[in-house]
Chains A and B, each alone.
Chain A
Amino acid sequence: MEHNLLDSLLDVEEQFYNEGYELGTADGAATGYTEGSVFAVEKGFEKFVEMGRLYGKALVWAQRLDMKSSEGAAAQADSTTGSTTDTLSLDPSICEDMPSLPPHSSRLARNLQTLLELVDPATLDMSNTEEAVNDVDERLKGAATKAKLIQRAMGEREDPAAQVEPKDMSTSGDGSGSIEDISALSIRH
């Protein structure tokens, strides 16, 4: 009888502890996941915004370059069709109203092709594996360099701020998303 009492008291303590532990585990899993996720959404966004920028620019360059090669047709077709409407149309045909490109070598087209391949969203692995992150970093670096070359060949002025350059990589951590990074952020819940 006495023994039973002892045992059951011990059991009760352990049972309470376990009860708490289970609750804590569930809550901890949820908050932990949320913190990691919110942080990562921001980090992923910041990194790929740079990639997207280069892609967007490349789309415009490609359009202009193409127009240049079919210059005769485009120029006479509607060099003065400037849309007078209030809402500016951003259709690719807008490029027809731009100053034409300076003379350039065929290297420009090749560089642009390479750039487009580097930043092609369809071939970018956006997962947070070490391999994918390294690949993205590398391509971003290469793309920024190409973009600079193209920009120069196109006679565009250099970016005042280093807009084209990948942002300081150190801010995005090492891609491992180590937990130590977390404490420094503003995680909002």
Chain B
Amino acid sequence: MSTQDNPAVDNDNSLDDIFGSSPPQNTLNAPLPPTTATSQSTEPSDLPGLRRQHVTAGYRDGTSASKGAHVQEGFDGGFPVGAQLGMRAGTVLGIMEGLLRGFEERNGPGVVKKPVRGQSAVSTGTDGATEIAELRRQKREQLRVLYEAALKELDVQAVFAEAGGAPEIAPRAEDGEEERAEVQLGRKGDVVIAKWEGRVGVPGWEENMEALEMKEEGKGGGQAVEHS
């Protein structure tokens, strides 16, 4: 690495030489010279200054080199965590959306075909019919309120900022086992989502689904009563 050895010069000059040409790495961050220029001529005692300068340069290079390389790694690590939580949150919302729609009286194109059979099966009399309609209206209203609350709480920003305010991610891994960002976020998200899963009873829907599927497979015909 020693650039040109200049045996003929005295001590001071040779020092100038060294600082003047400086290690090749520094050429990346060009504007270093000013400090060197003044410090070099003084004494070797400016070691702290020299140290700071080179450490800083190294730090800068090191950060930018390794940061870029690790962003992708972080993305790959974080994506499945977010996906998993998103799927769960979406399921909660989807069930509620499905229920809301289910309680709406049909008046769209679907009704044109006059569902005579369906209608008569539900209502046992005119009184009963209005009563049921009222009941449905109430449920729909309750559902709507609940759904709106869920929409708010299960928003991507809200889910991960659960603890109030922006999530605090410690970006440093100094003391070895710092938790990774997605682990922290995952835990925050889980709390909120689990609460809603409980409210909506997701497991119940899924179990039911499995039961229906099994029934489908062994479709013998008249076993409709099987589900309670």
- With an 8 A cutoff between CB atoms, is B67 at the interface? yes
- Could you tell me if A33 and B91 are in contact, using CB atoms closer than 8 angstroms? no
- Could you tell me if B86 and A37 are in contact, using CB atoms closer than 8 angstroms? no
- Could you tell me if B62 and A21 are in contact, using CB atoms closer than 8 angstroms? yes
Q: In the complex, what residues of B have CB within 8 A of residue A59's CB?
A: 91, 94-95, 98, 205-206, 208-209
Whole-angstrom distance between the Cβ of B91 and the nearest chain A Cβ: 4
Q: Mark A2-35, 1 if CB is under 8 A from B, else 0.
A: 1001110110111011111111111111111111
- Could you tell me if A66 and B212 are in contact, using CB atoms closer than 8 angstroms? yes
Bound Cα distance from A63 to B213, whole angstroms: 11
Bound Cα distance from A64 to B212, whole angstroms: 11
- With an 8 A cutoff between CB atoms, is A97 at the interface? yes
Q: In the complex, what residues of A have CB within 8 A of residue B60's CB?
A: 20, 24
- Could you tell me if A16 and B51 are in contact, using CB atoms closer than 8 angstroms? yes
- Could you tell me if B94 and A94 are in contact, using CB atoms closer than 8 angstroms? no
- Could you tell me if A9 and B18 are in contact, using CB atoms closer than 8 angstroms? yes
Within 8 A of B (CB), among A61-82: 61-64, 66, 69-73, 75, 79-80, 82
Q: In the complex, what residues of B have CB within 8 A of residue A169's CB?
A: none
A17-B25, A102-B106 in contact; A45/B182 too (CB < 8 A)? no
Q: In the complex, what residues of B have CB within 8 A of residue A154's CB?
A: 101, 110
Bound Cα distance from A28 to B74, whole angstroms: 12
Bound Cα distance from A23 to B78, whole angstroms: 24
- With an 8 A cutoff between CB atoms, is B171 at the interface? yes
CB-based nearest A residue for B107: A157
Bound Cα distance from A42 to B94, whole angstroms: 19
- Could you tell me if B72 and A179 are in contact, using CB atoms closer than 8 angstroms? yes
- Could you tell me if B83 and A45 are in contact, using CB atoms closer than 8 angstroms? yes
Q: In the complex, what residues of B have CB within 8 A of residue A5's CB?
A: 11
Whole-angstrom distance between the Cβ of B85 and the nearest chain A Cβ: 6
Q: Mark A117-132, 1 if CB is under 8 A from B, else 0.
A: 0000100101110000
- Could you tell me if A128 and B58 are in contact, using CB atoms closer than 8 angstroms? no
- Could you tell me if A37 and B74 are in contact, using CB atoms closer than 8 angstroms? yes
- Could you tell me if A37 and B94 are in contact, using CB atoms closer than 8 angstroms? no
Number of A residues with CB within 8 Å of any CB on chain B = 103
Bound Cα distance from A73 to B87, whole angstroms: 34
Residue A2 contacts which of B11, B59, B68, B103 (CB distance < 8 angstroms)?
Answer: B11
Within 8 A of A (CB), among B69-120: 69-99, 101-111, 113, 115, 117-119
- With an 8 A cutoff between CB atoms, is B194 at the interface? no
CB-based nearest A residue for B167: A188
- Could you tell me if A23 and B62 are in contact, using CB atoms closer than 8 angstroms? yes
- Could you tell me if A10 and B76 are in contact, using CB atoms closer than 8 angstroms? no
Q: In the complex, what residues of B have CB within 8 A of residue A31's CB?
A: 63, 67, 171
A28-B64, A38-B185, A156-B110 in contact; A44/B81 too (CB < 8 A)? yes
- Could you tell me if A34 and B201 are in contact, using CB atoms closer than 8 angstroms? no
Bound Cα distance from A88 to B99, whole angstroms: 12
- With an 8 A cutoff between CB atoms, is A90 at the interface? yes
- Could you tell me if A102 and B63 are in contact, using CB atoms closer than 8 angstroms? no
- Could you tell me if B75 and A90 are in contact, using CB atoms closer than 8 angstroms? no
Whole-angstrom distance between the Cβ of B221 and the nearest chain A Cβ: 11
Residue B156 contacts which of A30, A42, A99, A177 (CB distance < 8 angstroms)?
Answer: A42
Q: In the complex, what residues of B have CB within 8 A of residue A66's CB?
A: 212, 215, 227
Residue A49 contacts which of B55, B57, B156, B224 (CB distance < 8 angstroms)?
Answer: B156
Q: In the complex, what residues of A have CB within 8 A of residue B51's CB?
A: 16
Given contacts A102-B110, A189-B169, 13 further A-B contacts (CB under 8 A): A16-B58, A30-B173, A36-B77, A37-B182, A38-B167, A41-B181, A41-B189, A52-B92, A57-B94, A57-B98, A59-B205, A71-B121, A94-B99
Q: CB within 8 Å of B: which residues of A?
A: 2, 5-7, 9-10, 12-14, 16-64, 66, 69-73, 75, 79-80, 82, 88-92, 94-95, 97-103, 113, 116, 121, 124, 126-128, 151-158, 163, 177, 179, 182, 188-189
